[in-house]
Amino acid sequence: MKKPRILLADDHTLFVEALQKVLETEFELVGSVGDGRALLEEAARLLPDAILLDLSMPLLNGIDAARQLRRSVPDCKLVFLSMHGDPTYVTEAFRAGASGYVIKRANATELVQAIKAALRGHLYVSPLLAKGVLDPLLQQHSSPVSPQAELTLRQREVLQLVAEGRSLKEIASILCLSVKTVEFHKTRIAKQLGLHTTADLTKYAVSHGLISP
């Protein structure tokens, strides 16, 4: 029987190598990437059955990558494997199109179970998460939208790159925008979030899982 094809997305090389050993008996591992933009490219090229992705990744975080993947590879199942267990992150992941969310301290059996559940069309949430998180997610009840969620995708992309310490010129090059447009987005983001400095924006991005501390 043909094994499901899995693409891995995590910026920690040693962790990815360990994941490969855990998963290779059950799945065909078609590749691994270390940032969100590479993930979009490889997903479109490889068309995997499922993607195992981290929440915090360079250049484009997992939440925003998931939103774009839902359009580019709609049949692909997305399973988040993250150290973030905050209900806000979990909720945002499922809103972005996730089929599963597993905490990194989970065991290998649980991870395999989550991927298989996603491939069968089910939702999976790690039992290590608080029970209060489970019911609203699995029943897809609505919950309050965070200020971060109200930012446009482009604003979120700019915010992450600003928080990563990239210059306006670098951001313009990565996003194929003019420097003036990037500066405009940065100003609007700060105003919308009620923040004033680049340091404030960086702290916000860290606290909301857009970048790792």
Contact between 135 and 117 under an 8 Å Cβ cutoff? The reply is: no
- pTM of the predicted model, to two decimals? 0.81
Domain identity same for 183 and 133: no
**CATH number, residue 194:** 1.10.10.10
Domain identity same for 51 and 129: yes
Domain identity same for 101 and 72: yes
Instruction: Give dist(CA 74, CA 119) in Å, integer.
Output: 13
Residue-range definition of the domain harbouring residue 167: 153-207
Domain identity same for 74 and 21: yes
Does residue 24 sit in helix, strand or coil? coil
Does residue 170 sit in helix, strand or coil? helix
Domain identity same for 19 and 94: yes
Q: How many domains does the chain have?
A: 2
Which stretches does DSSP call E strand in 26-170? Answer: 28-33, 50-53, 77-82, 100-103, 124-125
Domain identity same for 23 and 85: yes
Considering the domain boundaries, does residue 146 fall inside one? no
Domain identity same for 129 and 164: no
Considering the domain boundaries, does residue 53 fall inside one? yes
Domain identity same for 134 and 32: yes
Q: How far is CA 164 from the centre of its chain?
A: 16
Instruction: Give dist(CA 151, CA 162) in Å, integer.
Output: 15
In tens digits, the chain (213 residues) has pLDDT values of 789 999 999 988 888 898 899 899 999 999 999 999 999 999 999 999 999 999 989 999 999 999 999 999 999 999 999 888 778 788 889 999 999 999 988 888 999 999 999 999 999 998 877 555 555 555 554 444 555 558 888 999 999 999 999 999 999 999 999 999 999 999 999 999 999 899 999 999 888 777 876
The label of the residue with tokens 């857009």 reads: 210
**CATH number, residue 44:** 3.40.50.2300
